[in-house]
Each structure stands twice: as structure tokens, then as C-alpha cells.
Chain A
Amino acid sequence: MRMTLAVAVLLALLPLGLPPYAMTLLTEALIMGLFAMSLDLMVGYARLISFGHAAAYGLGAYTCGNILLHTDIPLPLAVPMAGVFSGFIGIGIAWVCTQATGVSFSMLTLALAQLLYAVAFKWTSVTGASDGLAGIPRRPGPFGTTYFSTKIGFYYLTMACLFGSFLFARALVRSPFGAVLRGIRENEAKTLSLGYNTRLYKIAVVAASYILGGLAGALYAPFAGFANTELLFWLLSGQVLIMVIVGGTGTLVGPILGAAFFLLVQQQLSTYTDSWALFFGVIFIAFVLFAPEGILGLARRRRSVRSH
């Protein structure tokens, strides 16, 4: 708890000393971090490996984008509304996908996300099809305040969403509910035989994951002022899964670090060289070979080496 507070204070003080460019990057890193953390709820705690988590992100982004474009609902309200909507759809998606387990579950999530992608690609009136939704505004309010439309205000809004979500997710995995999830992760048959309706638990955790993932997408839309089908594409699903793995699954904090790492390295490399993908790819391969437990695992291993 003390650690969380310290990080929160640090992040809250950062805007005082950072140039606008770094602020933008940091905001984006926090959004991605939230997205990766939301997936960790499924992957790390219930071993529900989703290949289609972009669905949550895209749903959140399109919903928030449409709310902001077509209504006067202020930004700080539109974002959670979109998250909740994404969660509702998540229940339906979970209901379908949890009919299967293991690899089949992953494949179902991929199929559903791609189906949403295909629909978004043609549903011009809602999604703008391949052109996307451009010029998504940051509507002022509540009570007429324009604070959240500013760069710093938006950063604090993002930070608040991330910390709120983190506390919620941590409470969730530490609760009896989380204990059942871990039971499912280790041995689903046994948990089932203990009398738990494991499918219901799985649906619940997917829905929670979709709410948080949708929240991240909902923040992205007004952050970039833009949303398009790329936000639903399987490539993003693959990337976020990799962020979770890079950071370390089942840790909540790790995936946030993984996302930040992914984003920063990509951003920095691409400013120095056209061939950033080459180095980025090599980094991934090296990571798997030399840091199998992820960033957090690496940090812990070093700490334990030092303390010995």
C-alpha cells in the first residue's frame, strides 16, 4: 500500500517538470498500462488467455468517441460510461467464449474480436469505417470546468482511472472471488467439484476485464482525438498480450510496466531509425531467452541476488 501511494505521488508530481512531449508519451503509457492490466486479470489470475482483447479497447474507444461527438456529456462521465458499456458486451462475449477452455477459448476470443472488426469496418455511420472517427473532442464539464480538456488535466484523469482500476483489480484478486479464480487457474476440475460454478466466475472476471479494458479504450479516443478499426484488430490483441507477458503475468503491476516498456522502446527506436522493427524484434527474442519471468521477475531476481 505504501508503495502504491509513493508511486501515485510521484506520478502526480511528474507533470510539474516534464515537457509536453513527455507528458503525451506518459499519458499514452498509462492508458496502455491500464489496458494491459485489464488483460492480466484474465490471463494471470484465471488462465483465460484472450487473443481478442482488442475488442474491449475498440468497444470503449468507439463508444466514448460517439458519446463525445454526438452528445454534450462531459469527458469525465463519457469515459466510465464507455467502460461500463464495454463490460456489458464483455458479458455476452464471455458467455460464448467460456463454452470452451484452453486453446479453444483463445480461438473463440480471436474469432469474436475479428467479427467485431469486420462489422466496424463496414458500419460507417457508427465507426466511420476505414476512415475512423476523427476530431473526437474533450467535452468540458462537469459544471463547466474545462480542466480535463487540458493536457495536464487529461493526464490526471488518466492517472485517476489507472489507480482506481488498479485498486479495484487488486481488491478483486485478493478477495474470496480471487481465490476461486486462482483455483480455476490451477485446477478447474477440482474447483468445479468443490461446488463452484466456475463458468459464472469466468464470465464475471471477463466482464471486469472488459470494463477496465474498455475504460482504457475510452481514454484513448479523446487522447488521440481519433478512433479507427486498428483499435479492434488482432495485431493489437497480440501486442497487449505480449505487454502482459513482458511485464509478468499475474502481478497487475508487471503488465503496466510491460506496456510502458513496449511503448517507450518503440517510440524511442522509431525516432532514431527507420529500421526500428528490426531492433524491436531482436529485443523481444532476447527477452524471452534471457528474462523468462518478465520485467517484474527480472527486478525481483536482481533484488534477491543482491539481498543474498
Chain B
Amino acid sequence: MIGLNRRTLLASALASPVVLRHALGDTPIKIGMPVALTGPGGEIGAQMRRGAEFWAKHTNAKGGLLGRPIELVIQDTGGDPAACVRKAQDVVERDGCRLLYGMTYSSEALAVVPKLAEWNAIFMSSVNGDGRLTGSSLVPNFFRANTSGPMGTRAVSLYLRPAAYKGFFAIGMDYAWGHNSIGVFKDEVQRAGKNFIGDVYSPIGTKDFSTYIAKIRQSGADACFIVMQGDDNAAFLSQAKQYRLSDKVQLLTEVVDLNSIAATGEAAVGLIGSSRYSFTFPGEANAEFVEMWKKEYKTVPDTFEGEQWQAGLVLAAGITKAGSIDADKLRPALENIEIDSIKGHVKIRACDHQGEQQGFMVKVVKKEGFDKPIPELISTFAADRVTPGCGKMTYDS
């Protein structure tokens, strides 16, 4: 019965947007998405777009929000924060978007948030990791539905507590998120009484990691924490494999996503890391989402597609509760909102607008029935253990 319903939903979702708009009233809810579709972050941007489009289609098929259809206005930023500010300004001023739903890099988000008040727009973050967005740089119109960098790092460090590793090294991309997460990791390692040996940062778009790998080998660390995404992550993992880095050092990462695994092939097997979302997460809601996704795209959803979907659910719940997309009404509605999502229970806290949610640890393994290695859930941590104190990026215990 449910299967049949879903199919009819999808069928009506395939109807042309023009027809849809008339069916649902004439004033769509316009949601702006300045994302990186080109450059080293292009793959992440593409995931965000797919996740958002799927959410919009799904929501419109159910009658939209407040009886109005959702219309996404997607713009390419190339991953440049300056371009992102301009594109965000475009979608606000030209297209009349009062809602922003995704930006690829934390540096882009950090550049945009000071402008939100002037635009009277709400920004629902779906992938941005930098802890400062809900800390020192928090603005009233910013919300984060996704797992933040400190939260992912915390999951890794909680997992490591009973482990035997003694010396840690860290490598991150040389921008907001990389520095932030490694800072948190260092703090966690040192508080656990273990040795943080050193860190190194590679500029976004680095192609050859051989010297960084030599540095990690030289350090004598027995585990290395990686804070990378997109093309950089793929390049680093495949070169780490070429140098047999994992023979000597256990690789741990803050974000495990299918795309990097696909790009590195067998090189990713054995990688341990926190996962912001994986199709292998337990629960009925996720199983149902994965099925729907497979029907539409003939493949399983990846990390940022799932995160984008969850951010969409939070946004939709807020809009429904507020009965409006006006920032002054939507803001209080989003504060303290709770939903059951594909990652379990999510609550947006009023104090710093961070979504409290579980932390997941996965290990990349080869499995029957999959042509590529997949992330397998190895540990789950409760929301109150991974979410930092209000407005903070560090943990007390």
C-alpha cells in the first residue's frame, strides 16, 4: 500500500513545474542555493543540489508548504566566498528569496552570515562544518541542521578513547573547517591524556600530497586524523594508499562519503571515521528514504544528499509551524523545533541554533552485493554526548 502511494507521489512529481505551480497556487516559496558546482567542491555542490531537488519535488508532490510550491534558485559559486556573497545577494534581491538552503564551504557561509540581517533572510545550513557558525560568528538568522565539524570530531575522539593509539597527527584543508576541526581534535586528544604530535594544512585544491604523507610518516604517529572533503579528500586517500600509509598509521576521518570512496576505489577500505549521513544508518525512516532515492536515481544517497534532505525536513517543519516564511516568524518557530529524521531525533536548540543529533562512526568495508566498498556503522553516540555546550566548540568531559 505504502509502495503504491509512493509511486503515485513520484508520478505526480514528474509533472512539469508549470502545471505544478498552477495546481498549488501562484506564489511559490523561493529558496536560494548558492553552491559550488564547479571547482574542487563541485561534487559536494552537486550532491547538495540533488538532495535539495529531491526534497523540493517530494514536498511539492505532497502539496507544497502552506499550500505553496517550493521553487529552488540554484547558483554556482565556484567555491569562492566572494562569489558566494554576490550570488546570495542576487538570489535575495533579484529572485526575492527569503530563505537560503545550503552553501558548500564553511568559508562561504562565514562570509554570508553577516549579511543575513540586512537581507532579512533565514539561512538553513545543510553541510557547513565550522563550529564558529554556531559559536563566535552566530547570527540570529542562521540555523544548522547538519552535524558540525566539532560534533564529527567529537564522535571520532569518543570512539578513540578506549583504543590503544598513543600518538596522533592531523591533516586538514587549509580553511575555516579544517583548522576548526583539528583544533577541536587536538583539545580532545590532549584531554584524554594522549599525545598530539602535530598538524599540517593543505591549500584547497592541492593535487600532490606526497610531502604531507612523508610528514605524517615521519611524525611517528600511529593514527592520523583527516579533515578533508571533495577532490582533495579523494586525491589524499588515493596517494596515501600509494605510499602504503595505512600499513603504519590508522587513518581516521571526519567525513566518510561514498564519492571519496568511489574515487579512491579499494584505497578506502579500512578507513574509520565519523559519518554525517550514510545509507547504511539504521531505522525505518532511513530505509524508506533510501528506497525512495533509489527509485529516483537508481543509486543510494550519499552523505551530503542525506544531510540536505534532513535540512529540508527541518526547514519544512519550521515553515509549517510558523505559517510563514517571514524571518521574524520563522526564527522563533525553528528554535526548539524537533523532528524525527533519517538520522534519528533532531532538535534545533534555541540557544545557538545547532541541531542536536546523534554521532555515527563507520568503517569502510567490502560487502557482498555492492561493487564498491561501503561505510558500515560501528558505533553510535547519543546527541548529548556529541553536541557541544551552547555556543561552544569544545567539550568539558
Contact = CB atoms under 8 A, between A and B. Distances in A.
The 6 closest A-B pairs by CB, nearest first: A135-B114, A21-B94, A21-B93, A130-B175, A131-B107, A20-B93
A134 B114 contact: yes
A130 B130 CA distance: 14
A28 B38 CA distance: 23
Contact of A224 (B85, B107, B175): B85
Contacts of B115: 225
Interface of A: 19-21, 24, 28, 121, 129-132, 134-135, 224-228, 230-231, 267, 270-271, 274, 276-277
Contacts, number: 69
Interface in B104-160: 107, 110-111, 113-115, 137
Contact of A228 (B82, B86, B89): B82
B82 A224 contact: yes
Contacts of A224: 82, 85-86
A174 to B, nearest CB: 36
A140 to B, nearest CB: 15
Contacts of B380: none
A271 B111 contact: no
Nearest to B139: A135
B162 interface: no
B contact patch SS:
helix
B18 to A, nearest CB: 17
Contact of A24 (B38, B93, B113, B175): B93
B80 A24 contact: no
Interface residues of B, number: 26
Contact of B82 (A19, A24, A231): A231
A231 B85 CA distance: 14
A228 B81 contact: yes
A270 B85 contact: no
B176 interface: yes
A270 B107 contact: no
A227 B82 CA distance: 7
A132 B114 CA distance: 13
B174 A130 contact: yes
11 contacts: A19-B93, A24-B89, A130-B174, A130-B203, A131-B111, A132-B81, A225-B114, A267-B90, A270-B75, A271-B94, A274-B37
Contact of A129 (B38, B80, B82, B174): B174
B114 A230 contact: no
Interface string B12-40: 00000000000000000000000001100
Given A132-B107, A270-B76, A274-B76, A226 B93 contact: no
A20 B89 CA distance: 10
Given A130-B204, A271-B90, 18 more contacts: A19-B93, A131-B107, A131-B111, A131-B176, A132-B82, A225-B85, A225-B111, A226-B81, A226-B82, A226-B111, A228-B80, A228-B107, A228-B111, A230-B82, A231-B82, A267-B90, A274-B76, A277-B38
Nearest to B74: A274
Contacts of A277: 38
B268 to A, nearest CB: 26
Contact of A226 (B85, B174, B203): B85
Contacts of A228: 80-82, 107, 111
Interface in B41-100: 75-76, 80-83, 85-86, 89-90, 93-94
Contacts of A225: 85, 111, 114-115
B49 to A, nearest CB: 10
A138 B184 CA distance: 34
Contact of A132 (B89, B111, B113): B111
B110 A131 contact: yes
Given A20-B93, A130-B204, A230 B80 contact: yes
A144 B225 CA distance: 51
A139 B81 CA distance: 22
Given A225-B115, A270-B75, A270-B76, A21 B81 contact: no
Given A24-B89, A131-B107, A225-B114, A271 B75 contact: yes
Given A224-B86, A270-B76, A271-B75, A131 B93 contact: no
Of the listed residues A20, A131, A228, A230, the one surrounded by the most CB atoms of chain B closer than 10 A to its CB is: A131
Nearest to A220: B82
B202 to A, nearest CB: 11
Contacts of A21: 90, 93-94
A137 to B, nearest CB: 8
B201 to A, nearest CB: 9
Contacts of A19: 93-94
Contacts of B174: 129-130
Contacts of A24: 89-90, 93
Contacts of B137: 134
Nearest to B84: A226
Contacts of B85: 224-226
A130 B113 CA distance: 17
A211 B107 CA distance: 29
A47 B137 CA distance: 46
A230 B174 CA distance: 15
B301 to A, nearest CB: 22
Contacts of A274: 37, 76
A277 to B, nearest CB: 8
A134 B111 contact: yes
Contacts of B89: 24
B163 to A, nearest CB: 32
Contacts of B176: 130-131
Contacts of B204: 130
